[in-house]
Structure 1
């Protein structure tokens, strides 16, 4: 089982662990927070005749299982896009995975790809919301523009845009890494799913950016 190289980060008096598996463990709530898993995306590509390794989705589920075993969360919060579009054979793997953690509270904040009927999630005892305020944090899928952030009921946690940070080396080479992006009123999480892209974001001087490496999370000055 993995031992995560977590990076502690305190926000609004809450203790967060930023994990290289692209998740956050919120200590006070004993909650794992994850965005943009996109289970089922591999199945959609294979159905379209595009060669993608079958075990990629199972790898994401295995990583999630390892995190649950390590941190023993009471809640698992998905910030949207849990399953990629309509149902396919990968849903059976998800049902099997869910059966291994029957007492774990699972909450899904609906994302734009979450189009499977609510009844399928409810059969798996998964709670569904469009938004949810827990303590000082407002759980959403889409980031809010600045004008809406001024009136938000809490500090926003969201995903959707699959944020990345571009780093340049001495030889003009560059790399874009997944990142956690914290502004004064909103945090955008990297996409958890391995079969997803990332988009370099523009950071402001007030932002706190943490790049995700293979086995650690580092602050970017």
Structure 2
């Protein structure tokens, strides 16, 4: 296991570490925050006859295990879309992974892809919420807009849109990297799953954008 470089970020008096594995470690809560894992997506596509490497799911689970071993969290907070669709054979891999960390508190904020029956999660001792206020942060899946965002009872942490930032280099080369996007009242996390896309987002001048590279997280001025 390789120890990763973390980028510290203080928000509302809370100490956050932005990790290149596209997760956040929240010091005060001893919690890892992760969005849009989409476990089961590989099995979903393979079932439809689309050739996808089998080991992609195990790779995401191995990364998740590395994060738990490295940071020793008490809580694991999933901001929706933990499993991609209906149950398939990849669920068995997730059951095996869960058995390795029986004392870890796991909370899932339901996302639009989380359609598996609650009972299956409850059998794995996973708590389910539509949204959850924890400290100064309101944990959700989809971003809020307009009055809903202004009237939210906490600073929103969410996912759903798989945000990316487009960077330009010499010779007009462009690359879109996953990113953490912190606005005035809302933070959007990158998608954790490797088998997911990303959409370049438009940021306001007041936003703090952090691009995710292979082994570090870099603030974008």
Q: Structures share a fold, TM > 0.5?
A: yes
Q: Give the TM bin, normalised by the shorter chain.
A: over 0.9
Identify the residue that residue 136 of structure 2 maps to in structure 1: 136
Identify the residue that residue 156 of structure 2 maps to in structure 1: 156
Pair 1:116-2:116 in alignment: yes
For structure 1, the 5+ residue unaligned runs are none
CA deviations 1:29-69 (Å, max 9, x no partner) are 00000000000000011011111100000000000000000
Identify the residue that residue 107 of structure 2 maps to in structure 1: 107
Identify the residue that residue 208 of structure 1 maps to in structure 2: 208
TM-score by length of 2: 1.00
Identify the residue that residue 34 of structure 2 maps to in structure 1: 34
> 2: distance between equivalents of 1:66 and 1:31?
14
> 1: distance between equivalents of 2:171 and 2:99?
50
Identify the residue that residue 95 of structure 2 maps to in structure 1: 95
> 2: distance between equivalents of 1:80 and 1:109?
5
CA deviations 1:6-25 (Å, max 9, x no partner) are 00000000000000000000
TM-score by length of 1: 1.00
Identify the residue that residue 16 of structure 2 maps to in structure 1: 16
Identify the residue that residue 6 of structure 2 maps to in structure 1: 6
Deviation at 1:146, TM superposition (A): 2.6
> 1: distance between equivalents of 2:146 and 2:218?
26
CA deviations 1:75-124 (Å, max 9, x no partner) are 00000000001100000000000000000000000000000000000000
SS at match of 1:91: helix
Pair 1:55-2:51 in alignment: no
User: Alignment RMSD, CA only?
Assistant: 0.4
> 1: distance between equivalents of 2:177 and 2:35?
16
> 2: distance between equivalents of 1:50 and 1:172?
34
SS at match of 2:171: coil
Deviation at 1:220, TM superposition (A): 0.2
> 1: distance between equivalents of 2:147 and 2:188?
17
Deviation at 1:215, TM superposition (A): 0.3
> 1: distance between equivalents of 2:2 and 2:100?
18
For structure 2, the 5+ residue unaligned runs are none
Q: How many residues are matched?
A: 221
Displaced runs of 4 or more, over 4 A: none
Pair 1:184-2:179 in alignment: no
CA deviations 1:132-190 (Å, max 9, x no partner) are 00000000000000321111010000000000000001100100000000000000000
